[in-house]
Chain A
């Protein structure tokens, strides 16, 4: 290896390590700003100021979904299995919205402690299977694949 080539190799390595370290530190500093949504237990521990607009993510609690009398407002509980929060949303829900499904809602908490959402997005999980397999899993008593909190909320 000639000195010239060695010099260039060192230059490349310094470039990669230096830049990697700089970006790593920057991302570490902005850790919180990079979160796309907060979980209900983060809200409970006071990580978000009330009255502020933010995104809330979690699983729709089974059996908690109900329609208000106006016909288009939906109220449901959102959980991360540790904490939970009641969400109210007026408008059309995405196709994947159902009980046990992970969703991300954007809005604020009102005086009554209800999260009033302006937008609701469905968060798809990483499980793909034919309907018969999902059915079989459910019957076998295994946890329903969509409600595995570890994989849906991260």
Chain B
């Protein structure tokens, strides 16, 4: 385990192995996104109550799932960074925070656009919406802490602590619709009995969710690779790469 973390987390080795992953994940993302969007926006039937407006679900739900998934990835790399002091994990915290904040904002904005015609209001302070907004602020806090110190490694450790503490918000978001009465509806797909959604709508939704995941990974690899190069610019292996490329 330890050797694994140290080997794959060494900046030089990471830069090498992530290159292929980034390329393939980008290709898979484009294929899935194309297929999912076409199926979701043109092929899937209209909803019996909401008509065409429900189609925002194909963006809203994957974005909301990702807002939590990215947070967990960030918190795990926070633990790795804090306990084993892996440089790449420290960089990953910051990159996850930026991507995660974007997904959270996307989920909030698409939700508001759907809420106005369906509920009759853009925003209510129910438990689900409020906890998701708290998640956005947690991401902002991590981004701010990550870059608040002269030494980026100190900043990463401070950000890691906030990321770890903020994990508690994830089950609150997930179960808010079950624990308390909320205006937001309970889970459609992620629950133990069968999904409350017709197959013709569920499949495009799952394809979109998968596309968002590969998109996140591709973006994370790309951003982390750039940051690794920037931080390691004075080492011999980066200088070698620079000479080859120029």
Interface residues of A (CB under 8 A from B): 1, 5, 8-9, 11-12, 15-16, 19-20, 23-24, 27, 31, 34-39, 57, 93-96, 104, 119-135, 145-146, 151, 153-154
Contacts and interface: CB of A to CB of B under 8 A. Distances in A.
- Binding site secondary structure of chain A: mixed
Contact of B119 (A12, A57, A124): A124
B82 interface: yes
Given A129-B47, A146-B49, A16 B167 contact: yes
A36 B118 contact: no
B48 interface: yes
Contacts of B126: 36
B174 to A, nearest CB: 14
Contacts, number: 125
B48 A134 contact: yes
Interface residues of B, number: 43
B186 interface: yes
B196 A133 contact: no
A12 B54 contact: no
A5 B84 contact: yes
B48 A8 contact: no
Given A96-B50, A129-B197, A124 B118 contact: yes
Nearest to A37: B181
Contact of A127 (B165, B177, B188): B188
Nearest to A27: B172
A130 B46 contact: yes
Given A12-B83, A128-B54, A154 B201 contact: no
B164 to A, nearest CB: 6
Interface string B100-119: 00000000000000000111
Contacts of B187: 126
A39 B201 CA distance: 32
Contacts of B177: 154
Most A Cβ at <10 Å: residue of B45, B49, B119 = B49
Across the A-B interface, the 5 shortest Cβ-Cβ residue pairs: A94-B120, A130-B45, A134-B48, A36-B126, A131-B48
A126 B183 contact: no
Contacts of A125: 185, 196
Given A23-B168, A94-B119, A126 B186 contact: yes
Contacts of B93: none
Nearest to A35: B181
B31 interface: no
Given A19-B165, A39-B181, 9 more contacts: A121-B120, A122-B119, A126-B196, A128-B54, A128-B57, A128-B201, A130-B201, A134-B49, A154-B178
A128 B83 contact: no
Contact of B196 (A34, A104, A130, A151): A151
B47 A8 contact: no
A121 B121 contact: yes
Contacts of A145: 196
